[in-house]
Amino acid sequence: MKRVNESQPLHGDFPNTGRRRFITTAVAGAVFGPAMPALAQAADASDAPSHAVARQMEVDSAAKVVAEPARKTPVVAEVDVVVVGGGPTGVGAALAAASEGAKTLLVERHAMLGGMWTAGLLNPLFDPRKGWIVDRLIDKLQQRGAWVRKGMDVFDVEVMKYVLEQMMAEANVEFWYHCPFTEPILQGDRVRGVIVESKSGREAVLAQVVIDCTGDGDVGARAGVPFEMGRGTDGLCQPMTLMFEISGYEGFRDVAADRLATHEFYRDLTKAIEKHELPIQLPYGPQRSGTPYLIALPGKAVAVVQATHVYRVDATDVRQVTRATVEARRQVHEAFLPAMRKIPGLENLRLSQTAPQIGVREGRRLEGRYRLELEDLLQARRFDDAVTSIGFHVDLHELDPQDSTPKLPEFPPGVTRHTISKCDIPYRCLVPKQVQGLLSAGRCISGSHLAHSAYRVTGTCMAMGQAAGLAAATAIQRNVLPADLDGAELHTMLQQRGVQFLPRA
């Protein structure tokens, strides 16, 4: 990868203009109201891009806005493909693009790859055997004894972090941690790269194709792609869940091996609460979907628990997400742990950790050239430009326990959300409207609230990621825009690489 500023000092020794400007303008910066003109001019005198940040801004207290002056941002890398977000989708996208010869950079705000797999502490990996890179990952986990198939496909979270890093290194994918994306670089309707802001400052990365794997569609939304969130009628999204890890009991494996454990676990919890008259109300009732899950992890007396639920949270509002995290952690300490410790055998249960990141089930869904619908599942649709197939059911947790609107439509006789047919995801769902040079993959693709609940699981997301990576690399090789790729040809290319699809009629 070409690091544009390799010859420039990034740390310690500021470039000429930088340090002096920092000192003078930092003093001026302490002054609110109209900027001091002489110092402001000095600050803007140099055209050189700089990592030093000391810019005069106008604060309009009445309008509650700050006017930021134009600036020159250093370009620190030029690549073929930049992938934003290192969750299951982003890793799939980056590995696929790199394996097709594209210089690939991935930027991730956390200090680990894996997204919900690792920062979110989720398990199991649903809808796993998708072929190509997804299978390679599972094989690597298996080789290390970190993948167990017993009722559910569970993996060791720490090994997952390590294996993902090793796979990225082997594929020559550069990745930057602690590196939040802030803005797309737009020229007309074309994305030319991204701006990131980190401890290194505000920096630009130029790329031919950007792949939005942020889960919440951050890149697309900031580039002006129209998007939807939540239920069509009122925008209500699925609840958030903070996963937590417990230890101190040898028998988790047996408890969790059976899917029925979900209901038994819930029954035991409610019994314990009643018997011991605990001042606790579980956040949902027994008939509702989203009852607690106790998931034993491979090889250890350790399990993760999917239990907390926080409703009516907007995943794109940092203050709401903060409050949701605090509320979910409160539920862990005040509801679930005390109740679980009353279940015979679990008296010595210990909380190992709550997840670093609250789990977001639903954020933005970027509008694309096709919107996947529940009807596509009901009709078991196959598409010529399929990038993967959905192998999971409709999985919609209660949107709000107080809300009496049915969350699911009536299905045809004999069909339930579990038995609903499966369908393909067409490439067009990954191609956002209105903006060129951009692909989306994972839970932020174009689909309805209900279809999303089936394609959001991690096996499907990683499969979408690998397809987006292949599409990006192929478009670059052919000197065309991703939107102009022949989706049917992409489908064939994916098959040639071992991607598994639902059988065709």
Ligand X SMILES: Cc1cc2nc3c(=O)[nH]c(=O)nc-3n(C[C@H](O)[C@H](O)[C@H](O)COP(=O)(O)OP(=O)(O)OC[C@H]3O[C@@H](n4cnc5c(N)ncnc54)[C@H](O)[C@@H]3O)c2cc1C
- Binding residues (CB under 6 A) for ligand X: these are 84-90, 107-110, 115-116, 119, 122-126, 180-181, 213-215, 218, 241, 243, 306, 359-361, 442-443, 456-459, 461
Rounded Cα gap, residues 50 and 44, in angstroms:
11
Closer residue to ligand X in complex, CB, 39/227:
227
Beta bridge partners of 210: 82, 438
| 160 in Cβ contact with 118 (< 8 Å) | yes
For residue 270, give the H/E element and its range.
Answer: helix 261-275
| Residue whose CB is less far from ligand X, 307 or 499 | 307
Smallest gap from Cβ 265 to ligand X, in A, equals 15
Which residue's CB atom is positioned nearest to ligand X?
87
Nearer to ligand X, 208 or 357 (CB): 357
In angstroms, give the least distance from the CB of 123 to ligand X: 6
Rounded to a whole number of angstroms, the minimum distance from the CB of residue 112 to ligand X is 8
* CB crowding 68-94: b at 16 or more within 10 Å, else e: eeeeebbbbbbbbbbbbbbbbbbbbbb
Q: By C-beta, is 192 or 361 nearer to ligand X?
A: 361
CA 179 – CA 175 distance, rounded (Å): 9
What are the distances in angstroms from CA 53 to CA 19, 45, 76, 180, 255?
9, 14, 16, 17, 55
Q: Write the CB contacts of 5 (distance below 8 Å, at least 6 apart in sequence).
A: 74, 75, 76
User: How many Å apart are CA 210 and CA 212, to the nearest integer?
Assistant: 6
Rank residues 112 and 475 by Cβ distance to ligand X and give the closer one.
Answer: 112
The CB-of-65 to ligand X minimum distance in angstroms stands at 22
- Residue 244 beta carbon to ligand X: minimum distance, rounded to whole angstroms: 11
Say whether 314 sits in a helix, a strand or coil. coil
Q: Which is nearer to ligand X, 239 or 437 (CB)?
A: 239
Helix (H, G, I), strand (E, B) or coil at 503: coil
Q: What's the min distance (Å) between Cβ of 241 and ligand X?
A: 3
Q: Which residue has the tokens 């299905």?
A: 411
In terms of CB distance, is 25 or 123 closer to ligand X? 123
Least distance (Å) between residue 309 CB and ligand X: 9
Residues 56 and 26 sit within 8 Å (Cβ to Cβ)? no
- Burial class of residue 281, CB neighbours in 10 A (0-12, 13-18, 19+): exposed
Q: How far is the CB of 468 from ligand X (least distance, A)?
A: 11
CB nearer to ligand X: give 40 or 225: 225
